[in-house]
């Protein structure tokens, strides 16, 4: 019932927003300036392209936010989005209140590095949304990992493979969600993460991050031959390193 009312309110706000926009001469002028600047950018010199792009984007944003209903539309849209994705609400609630989640669903990634491969390339599908568990197929079996997800929880299991005697790289880009990295014995790991809001858990240590960058190396990183270098960019979430 709440979802239905939110959709109805969102639709009404959208119609009112469009009506007010087309009856606001200033908004129309700013929108025209913005679109015109972006179109002129294609014919401008390289020196002026960036300036026209910035003017165009600023004018369009100013045109949109001069409408009083835009903010209300965004707020209702966010409420509807969070209501449809309880894991986001659960994560934000945990970060703000330090309460444990009611359930734990993860996107489980079995990592399998190989030193050689006959294929010149490999394409892997990124699941931007959801909490699907993927354990029956080799998701990453060629070179390093480049992982992207808008929201959701993820587990990287490094214990099901023999790592090459070199530095292996895992690159993670995530909007919202938890990330757990399972590290087997005999593997060194380094972690470099930038996070807008969240925390890093390593063994019994907990480090809170607020728009900060965190660097960490395991004790055996300089001496062990098998290494994993993790680089993560996260908006809101949690990264946990677990040694098996």
Are 146 and 70 members of one domain?
A: no
End residue of a domain, out of 37, 68, 97: 97
* 93 in any annotated domain: yes
pLDDT for position 158: 77
Q: What span, in angstroms and rounded, lies between the C-alpha atoms of 158 and 113?
A: 9
Are 132 and 208 members of one domain?
A: yes
Quote the number of domains for the chain: 2
Are 212 and 127 members of one domain?
A: yes
pLDDT for position 22: 74
End residue of a domain, out of 47, 66, 97: 97
Tell me what the mean pLDDT of segment 210-215 comes to.
Answer: 87
pLDDT, tens digit (0-9, with 9 covering 90-100), for 10-59: 677 777 777 777 777 777 888 888 888 888 877 877 777 788 888 888 88
51, 115, 185 from 231: Cα distances, Å:
33, 21, 20
Report the Cα–Cα distance between both ends of the chain, in Å, rounded.
46
Q: What span, in angstroms and rounded, lies between the C-alpha atoms of 128 and 122?
A: 19
* 61 in any annotated domain: yes
Tell me what the mean pLDDT of segment 82-104 comes to.
Answer: 58
Q: Is the whole-model pTM more than 0.85?
A: no
Under a CB-based contact definition with an 8 Å cutoff, are residues 117 and 142 in contact? yes
Are 112 and 156 members of one domain?
A: yes
* 102 in any annotated domain: no
* 231 in any annotated domain: yes
229 vs 50, residue with greater confidence:
229
Are 227 and 158 members of one domain?
A: yes
End residue of a domain, out of 73, 97, 121: 97
* 214 in any annotated domain: yes
Are 142 and 42 members of one domain?
A: no
CA dihedral 158, 162, 163, 164 (to 10 degrees): -170
72, 125, 170, 175, 224 from 145: Cα distances, Å:
40, 12, 5, 17, 20
Question: Which residues touch 68 (CB under 8 Å, ≥6 apart)?
Answer: 20
* 130 in any annotated domain: yes
126 vs 41, residue with greater confidence:
41
Are 112 and 220 members of one domain?
A: yes
Angle between helices 2-22 and 25-40 (to 10 degrees): 80
Are 58 and 116 members of one domain?
A: no
pLDDT, tens digit (0-9, with 9 covering 90-100), for 162-187: 667 777 888 888 888 888 888 888 88
DSSP 209: E
Boundaries of domain holding 9? 2-97
pLDDT for position 98: 58
Are 209 and 227 members of one domain?
A: yes
């Amino acid at each position: 019932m709440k979802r239905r009312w939110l959709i109805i309110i969102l639709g009404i706000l959208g119609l009112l927003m469009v009506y007010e926009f087309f009856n606001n001469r200033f908004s129309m002028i700013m929108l025209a300036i913005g679109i015109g600047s972006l179109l002129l950018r294609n014919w401008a010199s390289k020196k002026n392209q960036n300036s026209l792009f910035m003017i165009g984007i600023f004018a369009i944003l100013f045109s949109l936010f001069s409408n009083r209903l835009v903010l209300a539309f965004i707020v209702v849209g966010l409420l509807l989005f969070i209501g449809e994705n309880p894991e986001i609400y659960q994560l934000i609630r945990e970060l703000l209140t330090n309460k444990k989640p009611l359930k734990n669903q993860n996107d489980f990634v079995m990592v399998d590095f190989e030193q050689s491969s006959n294929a010149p390339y490999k394409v892997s599908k990124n699941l931007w949304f959801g909490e699907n568990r993927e354990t029956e197929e080799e998701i990453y079996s060629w070179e390093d990992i480049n992982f992207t997800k808008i929201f959701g929880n993820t587990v990287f299991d490094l214990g099901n493979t023999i790592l090459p005697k070199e530095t292996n790289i895992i690159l993670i880009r995530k909007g919202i969600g938890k990330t757990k990295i399972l590290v087997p014995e005999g593997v060194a790991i380094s972690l470099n993460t930038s996070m807008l809001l969240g925390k890093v858990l390593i063994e019994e240590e907990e480090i809170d991050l607020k728009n900060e960058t965190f660097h960490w190396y395991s004790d055996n990183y300089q001496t062990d031959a098998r290494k994993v270098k993790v680089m993560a960019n996260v908006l809101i979430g949690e990264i946990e390193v677990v040694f098996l």
